[in-house]
Amino acid sequence: MKRFLDGSFRNRLLAAFLVVSLIPLLICSTFLLQIFRLRLSNDAQKNAAEQLNTVLLSMDALCDGLASAAASVQKNPVVSAALSDRTAQSTLVYHELFSAVQEVRDYARFDLYDITGHWRYSSHTLPYEMQLPVYFGVLRAATASGEPLKFVVTEDVSNLSTPPLRAAVLLTDGAGVETGYLLISMDQTNLRLLLDGTYGAQNDLLILSQYWRPIYCTQPALTASLAEELRQLLLTDAPLDSAREDFRYSIAEHDASGLYMVLQQPQVFTHSTINILYTVNITSVLICLVISIFMSLQVTRQLFTPIDQLNRGFREVERNNLDVTVTLQRRDELGLLAQRFNKMVSALKRNQEQLIENQKELNHAQIRMLQAQLNPHFLCNTLDTMKWISKINKVPQVALMSTNLADILRFCISPDEFVPLCRDAEVLHRYIEIQKIRLSDSFTFQLVLPPDLEHCLVPKMILQPLVENAILHGLEGMDNGLIRVEAEESERGLLQIVVSDNGRGLPPGMVGAYSDHKLPQKHLGLYNVGTILLKHYGAGFGLSLENQTQGTGAVITATLPIHREDKGSC
């Protein structure tokens, strides 16, 4: 995977697109699924609480109705007298009994037993049992209990002949003498009639005793097995929802009867439902993955196709193929980049062509320079020959001029670009000797060169053109000319070379800092020296042209930075 990502920026961009598109989808789908589950579970829990509350309210209403009916029967003197006297009129007794239990007669059976436990009267057909023991069972509970009603649970719920819930009330006459019992019985039919519609159409209700024995279940086939499973989970302190994986259980206790109401609801999310949801979720993710891959490939293809074209164009340029062009029919940034690439290649091609032309010209210039170097060498050799001939023929002036001219020519064609100032001054002396012979010592020359400035490096041949300009233009036609060359260090730590004369001076148009447009074409020496200094050292350096403040003559000052070389012989 790392090799796949490191191998191409396109792969990294594709992976980034997939991550950016899929991770939010996975997070959102997971959160939505969990929120949906929690919401439905909370709704189911709330619904279960409401339905159990409805069941408890129905049981409360039943208990209140049974207590009210039992109190009415207990206070009825006709009923008490009939239980003591077997000759009482049955019609009157039944009338009083039906009147007392009329409101709850559909939800329970009411039987009257005499004090010996024999059945006498009933609100329904024949009783479940004609004879009941008075020393144990439900009648004993009525005698021992001080409460008006106490439900007794039948242990064997499989015996349909015995109702699962019973309660008995002890009856007495006006003198407090016990006359009999009122037996209240509730069977499966009564409970179903009471509780139908209170627990939801898809739910089931299970009623358990205080010992978690089954009393009633909306599905009789589940009564014993489900109650036993829940009882075992309760004893092991395990969650009741683990009884059956497709159902959830909610429990509420009825305080008046001591019974437990267990509501069985279908699980909001069964395993099959969860599998379906996960299948849908995974399918959605896969579909989104395919769409993301397709869209990412389209985007990266649209992005990297022009980049590939530009890359191929750059490879062609690396191979020195400057005829390559990249054509993109786009108006976005990549289209602009392609246009600029084409302009760059065109400019590069023009520069290369210009460079070839410049190289050709440079080659020609080098050839001309080499050819020009041959002539001075030939001249130097010729001048040496003239020197020896002059010495043989005893013409010292010609020998001196030949020697000085040969030294000047050798200095000019030397490869050094910068020389010590003392070396340039030595060549200047050679030139002065030639000019004095030519001009018959019509001028005086002075050179002031402090020892600490002798080894400052200066461009070659800057003194001779300045002095030559003074001789040719300043001292022309004079017999007592004076040329003075002085080197000094300025207050700013710069080298200043001052060439002054007592000649005619400079015309007003030439006075000031050096500028090539101020110099007439005949002042070629000044032009060359000024241009060389500006090219080497830049603005702030070069020549300054002034006239003498006292007397006549010109003053030319050359300003250079001070660069010293190791001291040696000049």
Phi-psi region of 126 (alpha: psi -120 to 50; beta: other; left: phi over 0): beta
pLDDT of residue 546: 92
Is 494 part of any domain? Answer: yes
pLDDT of residue 527: 85
Q: Which residues contact 213 (CB under 8 A, 6 or more apart)?
A: 153, 155, 157, 227, 231
Number of domains the chain is built from? 2
User: In the chain, which stretches have pLDDT less than 70?
Assistant: 1-12, 86-87, 144-148, 155-161, 241-243, 270, 366-395, 516-522, 566-570
**How much of the chain is in helix, strand and coil states, percent to nearest 5?**
55, 20, 30
- The range of the structural domain enclosing residue 216 comes to 1-269
Is 265 part of any domain? Answer: yes
Q: Strands, E, within 191-236: which ranges?
A: 204-208, 214-217
**What Rg value do the Cα atoms of the chain yield, rounded?**
65
Decide: helix, strand or coil at residue 1: coil
Phi, psi of 307 (to 5 degrees): -65, -40
Decide: helix, strand or coil at residue 160: coil
Distance, CA of 34 to CA of 277 (rounded, Å): 11
Alpha helices, H only, 111-269: 138-144, 188-195, 223-235
Distance, CA of 434 to CA of 352 (rounded, Å): 49
> Tokens representing 318?
């690396």
Is 407 part of any domain? Answer: no
Is 47 part of any domain? Answer: yes
Is 258 part of any domain? Answer: yes
| Beta strands 481-489 and 443-448, pairing class | parallel
Is 520 part of any domain? Answer: yes
pLDDT of residue 249: 86
| Beta strands 457-459 and 481-489, pairing class | unpaired
Q: What is the CATH number of the domain that holds 46?
A: 3.30.450.20
**Number of Cα atoms under 13 Å in the Cβ half of residue 492:** 8
Q: Which residues contact 300 (CB under 8 A, 6 or more apart)?
A: 10, 13, 14, 17
Q: Which residues contact 18 (CB under 8 A, 6 or more apart)?
A: 289, 292, 293, 296
Decide: helix, strand or coil at residue 408: helix
| Beta strands 259-266 and 247-254, pairing class | antiparallel
Out of 236, 253, 269, pick the residue that ends a domain. Answer: 269
Q: What is the CATH number of the domain that holds 497?
A: 3.30.565.10
> What's the residue count for the chain?
570
Distance, CA of 252 to CA of 48 (rounded, Å): 10
pLDDT of residue 393: 64
In b/e form, how buried is each residue of 41-53, taking b as 16+ CB within 10 angstroms?
eeebeeebeebbe
Count the Cβ atoms, other than its own, within 10 Å of residue 460: 19
Out of 239, 269, 299, pick the residue that ends a domain. Answer: 269
Is 71 part of any domain? Answer: yes
Is 447 part of any domain? Answer: yes
Q: Which of 377, 557, 555 is nearest to 462 (CA)?
A: 557
Are the CB atoms for 132 and 140 separated by under 8 Å? no
Decide: helix, strand or coil at residue 52: helix
Distance, CA of 123 to CA of 156 (rounded, Å): 24
Out of 234, 269, 304, pick the residue that ends a domain. Answer: 269
Phi-psi region of 75 (alpha: psi -120 to 50; beta: other; left: phi over 0): alpha
Distance, CA of 19 to CA of 289 (rounded, Å): 10
pTM of the complete model: 0.50
Helix axes 9-74, 188-195, angle to 10 degrees: 120
